[in-house]
């Protein structure tokens, strides 16, 4: 066999073998992820939750909101929630980030969470924590994180809290400590 035929057959064999390896995908190579389901996004927007009669119950404002259909939620940045119900005490909740479930029933807040309102006597009250889960329609909130409760009467700190914002009732769960300011007219 002439050398030229051997070179041609050898070249064809190398090309065939090379194309086989180039086109073959290893079995352990990850498959491409399915395309993301598209959702909406809003910049500097406000969303309202309505009662059955059409009255506004709460308002959620965010610097950015992005629907995440694959997770059945809306991701939020720069969150500001205001309860607007005329029959209940107004409360304002703020946080760095959060997300609300697609059915608008569960709101998770994270980072510099602040709740502002009044206690039963009408005294301004602020609660600070790192994480808060809010059952939106029930006006209830819970956290297992550290909590700081500030009012003009003093400061309470604790680990964990359950709050009923409609009833203005707060239950601090563990490691509760307080510091109060006594009025000049108070006697022990």
Question: Is 21 inside a domain boundary?
Answer: no
Looking at residue 76, its pLDDT comes to 92
> Which tokens sit at 105?
């029933």
Question: Is 149 inside a domain boundary?
Answer: yes
Question: Is 187 inside a domain boundary?
Answer: no
Q: Residue holding tokens 């909740």?
A: 93
For a pLDDT cut of 70, what percent of the chain falls above it?
Answer: 74
The CA distance from 137 to 52, in Å, is 12
Q: Tell me the CA distances in angstroms from 21 to 14, 15, 16, 18, 107, one per residue in order.
A: 11, 10, 9, 5, 51
Residues 6+ positions from 134 with CB-CB distance below 8 Å: 81, 93, 106, 107, 108, 109, 140, 141
Question: Is 54 inside a domain boundary?
Answer: yes
- List the one residue out of 148, 151, 142 whose CA is nearest residue 175: 148
Roughly how many angstroms between the first and final C-alpha of the chain, as a whole number?
A: 116
Flag whether pLDDT at 146 surpasses 90: yes
Question: Is 25 inside a domain boundary?
Answer: no
What's the mean pLDDT in 165-185?
80
pLDDT band at 15 (very low <50, low <70, confident <90, very high): low
Looking at residue 32, its pLDDT comes to 58
Looking at residue 87, its pLDDT comes to 63
pTM, 2 dp: 0.72
The CA distance from 59 to 48, in Å, is 4
Looking at residue 30, its pLDDT comes to 59
Domain housing 74? 41-180
For a pLDDT cut of 90, what percent of the chain falls above it?
Answer: 30
Flag whether pLDDT at 116 surpasses 80: yes
More reliable by pLDDT, 91 or 11: 91
Question: Is 186 inside a domain boundary?
Answer: no
Greatest mean pLDDT among 24-28, 45-49, 78-82, 123-127: 78-82
The CA distance from 95 to 112, in Å, is 5
Flag whether pLDDT at 62 surpasses 70: yes
Flag whether pLDDT at 64 surpasses 80: yes
Looking at residue 129, its pLDDT comes to 95
pLDDT band at 126 (very low <50, low <70, confident <90, very high): very high
More reliable by pLDDT, 26 or 133: 133
pLDDT band at 127 (very low <50, low <70, confident <90, very high): very high
Question: Is 36 inside a domain boundary?
Answer: no
Q: Total domain count for the chain?
A: 1
Question: Is 156 inside a domain boundary?
Answer: yes
> Which tokens sit at 93?
């909740």
**How far is CA 35 from its chain centroid?**
24
Give the CATH number, domain containing residue 105.
2.60.450.10
Query: Rounded to 5 degrees, what angle do the CA atoms 11, 17, 19 make?
Result: 100
Flag whether pLDDT at 24 surpasses 80: no
């Amino acid at each position: 066999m002439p050398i030229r035929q051997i070179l041609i057959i050898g070249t064809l064999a190398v090309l065939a073998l090379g194309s086989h390896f180039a086109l073959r995908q290893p079995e352990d190579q990850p498959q491409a992820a399915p395309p993301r389901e598209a959702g909406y996004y809003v910049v500097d927007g406000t969303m309202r939750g309505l009662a059955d009669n059409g009255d506004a119950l709460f308002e959620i404002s965010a610097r950015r909101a992005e629907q995440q259909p694959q997770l059945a939620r809306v991701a939020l940045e720069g969150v500001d929630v205001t309860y607007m119900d005329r029959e209940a005490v107004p409360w304002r909740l703020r946080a760095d980030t959060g997300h609300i479930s697609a059915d608008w029933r569960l709101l998770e807040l994270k980072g510099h969470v602040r709740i502002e309102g009044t206690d039963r006597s009408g005294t301004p009250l602020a609660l600070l924590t790192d994480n808060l889960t809010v059952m939106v329609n029930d006006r209830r909130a819970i956290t297992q994180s550290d909590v700081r409760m500030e009012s003009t009467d003093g400061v309470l700190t604790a680990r964990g809290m359950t709050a009923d914002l409609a009833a203005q009732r707060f239950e601090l769960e563990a490691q509760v400590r307080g510091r109060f300011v006594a009025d000049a007219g108070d006697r022990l």
